[in-house]
Amino acid sequence: MKIRSINITFVLFPAVILLAGCRPAAEPEKVSHEVSGPNMVELNAAQYSSAGVKLGMAEKRRLNALLKVSGTISATPRNLASVSAPLGGFVKQTEIVQGTEVTKGQVIAVIENFMFIELQQSYLETRARFTYAEIEFKRHTELHKDNVYSEKNLQQTELEYKTLKIQMMGLEQKLTGLGINPHQLSEDKITGILPVVAPISGFIRKANINIGKYVSPTDVICEIVNPGEVVLEMVVFEKDVRKVTKGQSVRFSTPDDPAKEYSAVISQAGHALSDDKTMMAYARISQPAPDLMAGVSVNAGIETDNLVAWAVPEEAVVQFNEKAYVFVYKGARTENGKIIHDFTATEVIKGITNQGFCEIRMAPGFDFQKNWLVVCGAYSLLAAWKNAGEMAC
């Protein structure tokens, strides 16, 4: 590094690029510049070439701040089912294991319980008494019309008829809940075993049964998940709750393949904090993929702020002494027959970083449309600046 104070004029210009791509661009104008100050860095032609320096101008870009959160791929409530045996019993037959594919209505287990017999017996007895009571009630009603039967006796017959009807209807609902059609039940069809069927189609996520095991009514026999519709479930901390709203875009990836990025849109954001001071937010995945299975953990970023600002590629901004800098190209000159390229390390304030670009804010009066910046090779210039003389001409 050399520090001087002389006025010089451009004689040779390096190749320049624009941030948005390699499209035609005007080269830096031929102007005089002063080489002085501790923030100046100069490279000769060979050093400039080996450093891989490329120039470009900052450009206005729409940037979104990313709120980083952790998330999980989850099945929607209608696509996740926990299966149990309403009255419990001993498992007599089952063939399911984790990952088994099942269809809605398919028998996934057979449960044996003597309470099934008692329930069916009670129903058939009640139905028989009800049938008789119904006939008696109709007969007494006709007799009462002919003043042959007293009103008190009619009321007593009606009471018995309605009581038995209530009992029968209640037992019918219990049998229906067990998967037994009460209208097809008869004296010679009483059974002590009942099938447990899948309420939805999908895959067995968890299986907690085996032959001979006793399961209570509260035990979950298995869980079935339908992977056809999954959502992204995210945990948002208390300090970030106000930043998250419905309709925001989300980008996420799985830990085992961070380079592959997926997108989603927030469909629901909670309005209450849980005991651990977090809030849940849910997003619909734009393009579901087979590898996004329920239970998979992901790293997600919620796009919050949306603004248009001057931005450069992330690699154009370097850190030194806890400050951020970019290198402003001052021009090329000749000295002792050698071509010298001059740069100034200029402090900036970093803003939002998004999709490989970083917002920069500079001192008032800096003209972004007239100053060329180092967009590639900035770290080589930083090394030269930090180690004075190492890359000096």
The answer for residues whose C-beta is within 8 angstroms of residue 60's C-beta and 6 or more apart is 308, 309, 310, 311
Which amino acid does the sequence have at 1? Answer: M
List Cβ neighbours of 276 (8 Å cut-off, separation of 6 or more): none
Q: Please provide the average confidence, as pLDDT, over all residues in the chain.
A: 84
pTM of the model: 0.56
The whole-number pLDDT of residue 179 equals: 83
**pLDDT higher than 70, residue 160:** yes
Predicted pLDDT at 6:
33
Please name the CATH architecture into which domain 66-78+226-307 falls: Beta Barrel (2.40)
Instruction: Provide the token pair at 341.
Output: 């390229």
Q: Find residue 376's DSSP bridge partners.
A: 54
CATH level 3 topology of 7-62+308-386: 2.40.420
User: What pLDDT is attached to residue 26?
Assistant: 46
pLDDT of residue 11: 37
Mean pLDDT along residues 77-93: 91
Q: From CA 155, how far away is CA 147, in angstroms rounded?
A: 14
- Which of residues 351 and 33 earns the better pLDDT score? 351
CA 43 to chain centre: 48
User: Which pLDDT band holds residue 66 (cuts at 50, 70, 90)?
Assistant: confident
What pLDDT, on a 0 to 100 scale, did the predictor assign at position 16? Answer: 43
Question: Distance between CA 236 and CA 231 in Å, rounded?
Answer: 16
What is the rounded distance in angstroms from the CA atom of residue 210 to the CA atom of residue 376? 63
For the chain, the structural domain boundaries read 7-62+308-386, 66-78+226-307, 85-224
If phi over 0 gives left and psi between -120 and 50 gives alpha, with beta otherwise, what is residue 282? beta
Segment among 4-8, 33-37, 57-61, 147-151 with least mean pLDDT: 4-8
CA dist 355 and 249 (Å) reads 13
Pairwise CA distance, residues 335 & 14, whole Å: 16
> pLDDT for 11-39, tens place per residue?
334 444 444 433 334 445 444 444 556 88
**Segment of 210-224, 244-258, 356-370, 373-387 carrying the highest mean pLDDT:** 210-224
For the chain, percent helix, then strand, then coil, each to nearest 5? Answer: 25, 40, 35
Mean pLDDT calculated for residue range 280-290: 86
**Cα dist from 207 to 84, 197, 332, whole Å:** 11, 14, 73
* % of the chain exceeding 70 in pLDDT: 89
Q: Does domain 85-224 have CATH number 2.40.160.40?
A: no
φ and ψ of 322, to 5 deg: 65, 25
Tokens of 220: 């979950």
- pLDDT at residue 13, rounded to an integer: 40
pLDDT digits (tens, 9 = 90+) for 302-349: 988 777 889 999 999 999 988 999 999 999 898 888 899 999 999 999
